[in-house]
Chains A and B, each alone.
Chain A
Amino acid sequence: MKNNWERNLIIVTIIGLVVGSWGMYQRLAYGHLGMNYGSFVPWGLWVAFDLFFLGLTAGAFLITILTYVFRIKLLANLGPLAAFTVLVTLMSELLIISLDLGHPWRVYRFLITPNPGSMLFWLVVFIISMWIIYVPWLYFLIREQLIAWGNDGARAGHKVYRFLAWGKTAYTPQDRQQDHRRTRFLSYISLPIGVIFFGAHGAIFAILHNRPLWNSAMLPLIFIMAALLSGGALITFLAYLYQPDDELIHPLGHVVLLILLSFLFLEALQIFVGYQSKITGIVTSLDLIIIGPYWWAFWIVHVLIGSLVPAFLLIRYPENSKMVALACFLIIITFLAVRLNYLIPDLAVYKLQGLQNTFFHQRLRPEYTPNLNEWLVAVWVISLGLLAFLLGTRWLPVIQAGRGEEEHV
């Protein structure tokens, strides 16, 4: 049964890659010409996906908090799966944001001419830190299993596993202890790095004093919550698929509900404060979200399908793993609307009176709707990420290695 849906999903991702390749062709051959963003709304769908992917990495962060701070030790079993998810989502994020750059090949500039005064520079530093933490973390979590698979001559590709285990054939209790120590250490440092990393996403927007909707100390906090919500929902959903153990799913369901309610509270607070401030820039941006042409993205996609229905399911059926997984699935698939609603409305309001009557060109308008090319590129990147995830969970021992991990907490 499991193999069936996995195989079907692999086929879907391959179709996604084929269909999305048209958008990729447009992007690679003609640059940004075929895309809809412009100079007044310079960031569009791909930046929203970038934020979406970065948020999804928070699953591992949540698991670490729950295991090490709240001592829900059993959740440590999800460690390898969570760490692997981080790597796949980071890869997807890197890919889509590179495509959004005007000159992706110049990213080495971050190294040779960095600007430590720029929040964007720090975000890149923290993205690199995430790689530095989660690659060895995953490795130490699955090393024992890699050695075992490398020793299993009957297993296809056992030589590759032997290679990945650096030729090691034996795994002694000392090795195990050492690996546990290392993963524990990496978990600890992932906590402060994670808080700063997820806060830094929000800070990129929050520090801009010319953007009234973003410019508040609350935004980084909202971004941390948003990351925990989408990342937590993703890891819960994956746990249901790969390690369907009620003892894992139920506590995660409770946590996701708590984060969902906190997130909605913060969001409501932001809207309330924004409207009460009566600052034209803020009110116009909020109007765009709530009663603008994309009102349905807020009310139907985010509030109804992405918040109220999941909250109902999580409150009504907290002990039903299937319902918990369904609630989490709804949160994940609707979360792009949340990201778009944070990104576009502030950009989509003219910040200088009279600007709309000066120079007419489609790149100098505040209206933005992602076009087919942009969606196709997104489909391509998601399909690649999903394919990497599906093949990774097949070919790497990320599920098997998790079992019994709670011992080391």
Chain B
Amino acid sequence: MGRDLPQEDPLVRMQRDLKRALQKKPEDIKWGMVIDIAKCIGCHACTIACVAENKLPPGVVYRVVLEEETGHYPQVRRRFVPRPCLHCQNPPCVKACPVTATWKTEQGAVIIDYNKCIGCRYCLVACPYAARTADFGEWYTAETAELHGKLYGQKAAANGYEAHPATEYGKKWPERGHGSPVGNARKCHFCLHRLKVGMLPACTTSCIGRATIFGDRTDPHSLVYEMIGSPRVYVLKEELGTRPSVYYLK
């Protein structure tokens, strides 16, 4: 009644923004994310999409949805704050790593070289946002009963899915055992392997509230740029001076 329906799904716009970004010189792109708290309904779809995309083992999680409660009964409020790695522009985790296994790329994503990481977990201690988890080598199928045959039982189930890690960072990791990424620190990498082929991060495409906006934060025509300019914008723990590339809208 007098109000226009949205013309375009933000996903379509973000997809277009991404295409444009990928035409730039890589060093001119600066990835960024905006999460609109007012739109997040706490469905955890992004968490699950991320777990599936990166085939995360038990106990490893890149993007959680925090549930914050404020006020006192009966004036209580609840809000949901999705928290990926915030890809800090001044990242304490990078400074902590003694062997430069984790660093900030020229596009502003903080990543880990699993083959360099010694698994000291100092970066986990240093991250103010608890955005890193360690891979202790756990299996979902550990409790599955062992049966003979190629279709059923622990081994068959694991071989069908879990034993083969996701192609994170665009690499083919060996079968899950003692080698990396088991024993490493792990974290959100903005789905760099998807971006490379023109796909938005899994959390962004799966967000049913369209609360997650992703793109090149230096492109004035992008949705993410527009959102960062909103008066509602804020960052987590600003006082620590980490300068996250993930912004929030109140």
Interface residues of A (CB under 8 A from B): 30-33, 35, 38-40, 42-43, 100-104, 106-107, 109-110, 113-115, 117-121, 124, 204, 208-211, 347, 350-355, 357-359, 361-364
Contact = CB atoms under 8 A, between A and B. Distances in A.
A33 B138 contact: yes
A120 B98 contact: yes
B138 A124 contact: no
A358 to B, nearest CB: 4
Interface stretch (B5-13, B126-134, B156-164, B227-235): B126-134
Contacts of B124: 39, 42
A121 B98 contact: yes
Contact of A118 (B64, B122, B135): B122
Interface in B31-67: 47, 58-61, 64-67
Interface of B: 47, 58-61, 64-69, 81, 83, 92, 95-101, 116-122, 124-130, 132-138, 178, 180, 182-185, 236-237, 240
6 nearest A-B pairs in the assembled complex, by CB-CB distance = A102-B119, A102-B183, A210-B128, A363-B59, A354-B66, A42-B121
Given A106-B118, A355-B66, A118 B133 contact: no
A264 to B, nearest CB: 27
B180 A363 contact: no
Given A38-B59, A352-B83, A354-B66, A115 B98 contact: yes
A401 to B, nearest CB: 37
B121 A359 contact: no
Contacts of A354: 66-69, 81
Contacts of A31: 136-137, 178, 182-183
Contact of A355 (B64, B98, B100, B136): B64
Q: Per DSSP, are chain B's interface residues mostly helix, strand or loop, or mixed?
A: loop
Contacts of A32: 134, 136-137, 183
Nearest to B142: A33
Given A110-B99, A120-B120, A347-B125, 4 more contacts: A104-B118, A115-B100, A118-B96, A357-B66
Contacts of A113: 99-101, 116
Contacts of A117: 95
B92 A103 contact: no
A109 B83 contact: no
Contacts of B134: 32, 38-39, 42, 102, 363
Contacts of A102: 117-121, 134-135, 182-185
A35 B183 CA distance: 13
A124 B240 CA distance: 27
Given A31-B136, A102-B134, A103-B119, A208 B129 contact: no
A350 B129 CA distance: 10
B48 to A, nearest CB: 11
Nearest to A204: B122
Contacts of B184: 102-103
A359 B63 CA distance: 10
Contacts of B117: 102-103, 106
A117 to B, nearest CB: 5
B130 A40 contact: yes
Contacts of B121: 42-43, 102
B137 A364 contact: no
Contacts of B67: 354, 357-358
A350 B182 CA distance: 25
Nearest to A40: B130
Contacts of A106: 99, 116-119
Contact of A363 (B69, B116, B132, B133): B133
29 contacts: A31-B182, A31-B183, A32-B134, A33-B137, A39-B130, A102-B184, A102-B185, A103-B119, A109-B101, A113-B99, A113-B116, A114-B98, A115-B95, A115-B98, A118-B95, A120-B96, A121-B99, A209-B128, A209-B240, A210-B237, A354-B66, A354-B67, A354-B81, A357-B67, A358-B65, A359-B47, A362-B59, A363-B59, A364-B59
A145 B95 CA distance: 47
A103 B116 CA distance: 9
A347 B56 CA distance: 23
A210 B122 contact: no
B122 A364 contact: no
Contact of A109 (B99, B183, B240): B99
A118 B93 CA distance: 10
Contacts of A350: 130
Contacts of A362: 59
Contacts of A351: 128-130
A210 B88 CA distance: 14
B125 A42 contact: yes
A46 to B, nearest CB: 11
A38 B60 CA distance: 10
A109 B116 contact: yes
Given A32-B137, A354-B66, A358-B66, A110 B130 contact: no
A354 B79 CA distance: 10
Contact of A30 (B59, B65, B81, B137): B137
Contacts of A104: 118
A103 B122 contact: no
A209 B92 contact: yes
